């Protein structure tokens, strides 16, 4: 069995493959939806007792405490490996610098006729942050979600995370939470934690928005509860697309494809190249490098099922394929990568050149790593400061200004058959 398929782009072969990739992110399994719906209703009705019962059922035992005491969070930071803390602090500096530039401004537009129009921007009151625990614990997710929320002016961040098998919290996650200013941490995971955040319980406060990654049960709960609470996005399996010409280094290309393939057996890693030499040498590099990687079984399955090397005739065609797929991560390994920024419109995050590999964005550079997947980069944007802001407009008119506008307003209102709308204007001048 070949490690990764090789496809010659002819308008048909690559399209068949793309259809196979799309099927990964099909409708949520009906059984999962039924299970999650039952969990949501139970938590809505029974609050913390339901949450704790599910924690015991799914995580093996009740944790030592439901809400992690502040001294435990502080101790985790004090006892952490200084090199790890320094690495997080350096990442925080970069992430904060980038996101500070995204802040929206309120504005007031005072016109000469006395009319005052404006927009008020402020942060949400309270946000829930879901962080996976156990073996899939990602301190970087804490940084990428909490930092823009704080910059937006969110008043309180409530974090939920599953306990480890021994009932204790993951200390690396607590370190990240302490450094980012997370206000409260609860040891609960799964759909039950999402429901608790959405509805509020006796102990877990109700939030305005839920962000953060999770398994299919978490994702399904977020999807079902959207409307009761806001969410960041419905995240699908991870994906990377690399567009490259003959100048690209096969060793780098192979390493970067596997950096995403290791996430999940459903992850998609695709190379689109104008160079058959690069394609063949990348395959050899995949075989060589994979042998030394811990998650090689996951990588192998991911590459075999949802990976491909597509050979096309031009860089322009490679860019067209990239825009069609709208990938979560897109690496541009062309000779002059900066030239292509303007023609790559549908992408979550863009990585340019040999020394901007995807993990740089995951952990350190500054742009957010919470990105649209499954082609939704056509219309969704990365998580950012504005994801945690809300806007409201305001209007002030003088009597004279409304008098000047009244005939137009009444005419449109009556055209729509809304005579009470028209009357609310006319009554002021009768």
Residue 110: per-residue pLDDT: 97
| Pair 429, 406: CB distance under 8 Å | yes
For the chain, the structural domain boundaries read 30-102+121-231, 237-378, 397-429
Tokens 């399209």 appear where? 15
| pLDDT tens profile 219-232 | 999 999 999 999 99
Q: Do domains 30-102+121-231 and 237-378 have the same CATH topology?
A: yes
Per-residue pLDDT at 27: 52
pLDDT computed for residue 1 by the predictor: 65
- pLDDT score recorded for residue 234: 84
Residue 135: per-residue pLDDT: 59
Query: In angstroms, how far is the first alpha carbon of the chain from the final one?
Result: 84
Catalytic residues: 328-329
Q: pLDDT tens-digit profile of 67-118?
A: 999 999 999 999 999 999 999 999 999 999 999 999 999 999 999 999 999 9
Strands 308-311 vs 5-8: parallel, antiparallel or unpaired: parallel
Q: How far is residue 18's CA from residue 324's CA, in Å, rounded to a whole number?
A: 10
Task: Look up the CATH architecture of domain 237-378.
Answer: 3-Layer(aba) Sandwich (3.40)
Instruction: Count other C-beta atoms under 10 Å from residue 11's C-beta.
Output: 6
* pLDDT, position 136: 67
Pairwise CA distance, residues 163 & 137, whole Å: 11
The three-state (H, E, C) secondary structure of the chain, written as one string: CCCCEEEECCCCHHHHHHHHHHHHHCCCCHHHHHHHHHHHHHHHHHHHHHHHHHHHHHHCCCCCCCECCHHHHHHHHHHCCHHHHHHHHHHHHHHHHHHHCCCCCCEEEECCCCCEEEEEEEECCEEEEECCCHHHCCHHHHHHHHHHHHHHCCCEEEEEECCCCCCCCCHHHHHHHHHHCCCEEEECCHHHHHHHHHHCCCCCCCCCEEECCCCHHHHHHHHHHECCEEECCCCCCCEEEEEECCCCCHHHHHHHHHHHHCCCCCCEEEEEECCHHHHHHHHHHHHHHHCCCCCHHHHHHHHHHHCEEEECCCHHHHHHHHHHHCCCEEEEECCCHHHHHHHCCCCCEEEECCCCCHHHHHHCCCCCCCCCCCCHHHCCCCCCHHHHEEEEEEEECCHHHHHHHHHHHHHHHHHCCCHHHHHHHHHHHC
| Residue 379: alpha-carbon gap to chain centroid | 14
Q: Which of the residues in the chain have pLDDT under 70? A: 1, 25-28, 134-136
The CATH classification number of 30-102+121-231 equals 3.40.50.1980
Structure pTM? 0.92
Predicted confidence at residue 319, as pLDDT, reads 96
């Amino acid at each position: 069995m070949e490690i990764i398929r090789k496809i010659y782009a002819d308008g048909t072969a690559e399209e068949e493959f793309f259809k196979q990739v799309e099927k990964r992110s099909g409708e949520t399994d009906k059984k999962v939806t039924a299970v999650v719906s039952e969990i949501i209703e139970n938590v809505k009705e029974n609050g913390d007792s339901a949450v704790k019962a599910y924690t015991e059922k799914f995580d093996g035992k009740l944790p030592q405490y439901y809400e992690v005491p502040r001294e435990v969070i502080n101790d985790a930071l004090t006892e952490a490996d200084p090199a790890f803390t320094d690495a997080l602090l350096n990442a925080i500096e970069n992430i904060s610098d980038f996101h500070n530039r995204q802040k929206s401004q309120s504005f007031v537009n005072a016109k000469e006729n006395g009319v005052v129009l404006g927009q008020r921007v402020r942060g949400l009151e309270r946000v829930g942050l879901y962080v996976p625990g156990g073996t899939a614990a990602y301190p970087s997710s804490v940084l990428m979600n909490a930092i823009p929320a704080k910059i937006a002016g969110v008043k309180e961040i409530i974090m939920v995370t599953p306990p480890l098998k021994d009932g204790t919290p993951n200390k690396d996650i607590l370190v990240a939470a302490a450094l980012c200013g997370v206000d409260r941490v609860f040891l609960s995971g799964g759909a039950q934690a999402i429901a608790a955040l959405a509805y509020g319980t006796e102990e877990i406060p109700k939030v305005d928005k839920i962000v953060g990654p999770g398994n299919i049960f978490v994702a399904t709960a977020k999807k079902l509860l959207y409307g009761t609470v806001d969410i960041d996005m419905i995240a699908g399996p991870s994906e990377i697309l690399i567009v490259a010409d003959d100048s690209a280094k096969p060793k780098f290309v192979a390493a970067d494809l596997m950096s995403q393939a290791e996430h999940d057996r459903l992850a998609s890693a695709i190379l689109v190249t104008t160079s058959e030499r690069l394609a063949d040498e990348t395959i050899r590099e995949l075989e060589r490098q994979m042998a030394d990687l811990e998650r090689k079984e996951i990588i192998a399955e991911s590459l075999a099922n949802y990976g491909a090397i597509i050979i096309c005739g031009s860089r322009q065609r490679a860019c067209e394929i990239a825009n069609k797929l709208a990938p979560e991560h897109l690496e541009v390994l062309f000779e002059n990568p900066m030239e292509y920024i303007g023609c790559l419109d549908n992408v979550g995050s863009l990585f340019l050149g040999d020394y901007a590999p995807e993990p740089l964005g995951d952990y350190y550079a500054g742009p957010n790593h919470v990105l649209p997947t499954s082609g939704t980069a056509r219309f969704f944007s990365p998580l950012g400061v504005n994801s945690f802001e809300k806007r409201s407009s305001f209007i002030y008119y003088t009597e004279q200004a409304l008098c000047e506008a009244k005939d137009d307003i009444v005419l449109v209102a009556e055209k729509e058959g809304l005579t009470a709308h028209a009357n609310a204007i006319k009554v002021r001048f009768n």
